[in-house]
Copies of this chain bind each other. A is one copy, B any other.
Amino acid sequence: MEIKVLENILGANEQIARKNRELLDKNKVFCINMMASPGAGKTSFVLQTIKALKGKLKIGVIEGDISSSIDAETVAKEGVPVVQINTGGECHLEAIQVQTALNSLPLADIDLLFIENVGNLVCPAEFNLGEHIKVIIASVPEGDDKPYKYPLMFNIMNVLVLNKTDLLPYVKFNVDNFVKTIKNINAGAEIFKVSCTTGDGISEWTKWLKSRIK
């Protein structure tokens, strides 16, 4: 008896993520899925990037939170289009929520779209949203041992941003060991060291980013 083998049947989230990606590509929008612990500085990093690229790239933002719209309000003050997704308890964004958000953004007028995922180093790693790259923000006060504890997240990322370098004099954090650990887990990852408080390192990041967005 013949056995039918069904191949490449994607889960619902992955199917919608691919549709999101098509829509983004059609509109020439480069999309970044930003993930981090609570308080690592995702919103500050988005704000610094918006300021650095003002007049050079048109930016849009999707803010994902369990509840509240604190971050969306902060970002909206910069005059960029923002959509807030409240997950109502869910610990990560899913592609279907992003699909709805994309439909209410002026995509033809956006070059670069940030998706700020729910603050969580675990669950968001398992859900593609249609983004072009995944960026993790780690922060100095969290300590240099996090990559070993959240291996999936550090495995799937394309870019690691180490934020709050201005706090290095006040905490125990070995930057060389941290970078070595990242390279062991994910040799292809780009690494940027920044301080969203002082602005240090932001220009290296935006230079690289512009080179990725043709």
The answer to whether A149 and B65 have CB atoms under 8 Å apart is yes
Q: Which residue of B lies closest to A122 (CB)?
A: B91
Q: Which of A146-176 contact B (CB under 8 A)?
A: 146, 148-152, 164, 166-167, 170-171
Task: Contacts A119-B121, A170-B166 given; indicate if A150 touches B38 (C-beta within 8 A).
Answer: yes
Whether B119 pairs with A70 at a CB distance below 8 angstroms is: no
Kindly identify, within residues 103 to 140 of chain A, every residue whose CB is under 8 Å from any CB belonging to chain B. Answer: 118-123, 139-140
Q: Is the CB of A143 closer than 8 A to any CB of chain B?
A: yes
Interface assignment of A25: CB less than 8 Å from any CB of chain B: no
Shortest Cβ distance from residue A64 to the other chain B in the assembled complex, whole angstroms: 11
In the complex, what residue of chain B is closest to A39 when comparing beta carbons?
B142
Copies, count: 2
Q: Flag A62-89 by CB within 8 Å of B: 1 or 0 each.
A: 0001111010000000000000000001
Chain B CB within 8 A of A200 CB: no
Q: Which B residues lie within 8 Å of A152 (CB)?
A: 66, 89
Do B149 and A70 have beta carbons less than 8 Å apart?
Answer: yes
Q: Which of B120, B143, B171 contacts A121 (CB 8 A)?
A: B120
In whole angstroms, what is the CA distance A167 to B140 when docked?
12
A22 CB within 8 Å of chain B: no
9 contacts between A and B (CB under 8 A): A37-B39, A37-B142, A38-B142, A40-B142, A65-B149, A66-B149, A67-B149, A67-B151, A119-B149
Given contact pairs A38-B149, A38-B150, A70-B149, a sample of 16 additional A-B residue pairs in the complex whose CB atoms are under 8 Å apart: A37-B37, A38-B121, A38-B146, A39-B141, A39-B143, A40-B142, A66-B151, A67-B148, A67-B151, A68-B149, A91-B120, A119-B121, A120-B122, A140-B141, A141-B167, A171-B197
Binding site for B on A (CB under 8 A): 37-40, 65-68, 70, 89, 91, 118-123, 139-143, 145-146, 148-152, 164, 166-167, 170-171, 197
The 10 closest A-B pairs by CB, nearest first: A39-B142, A91-B122, A141-B141, A68-B148, A37-B38, A37-B37, A39-B143, A38-B121, A91-B123, A120-B122
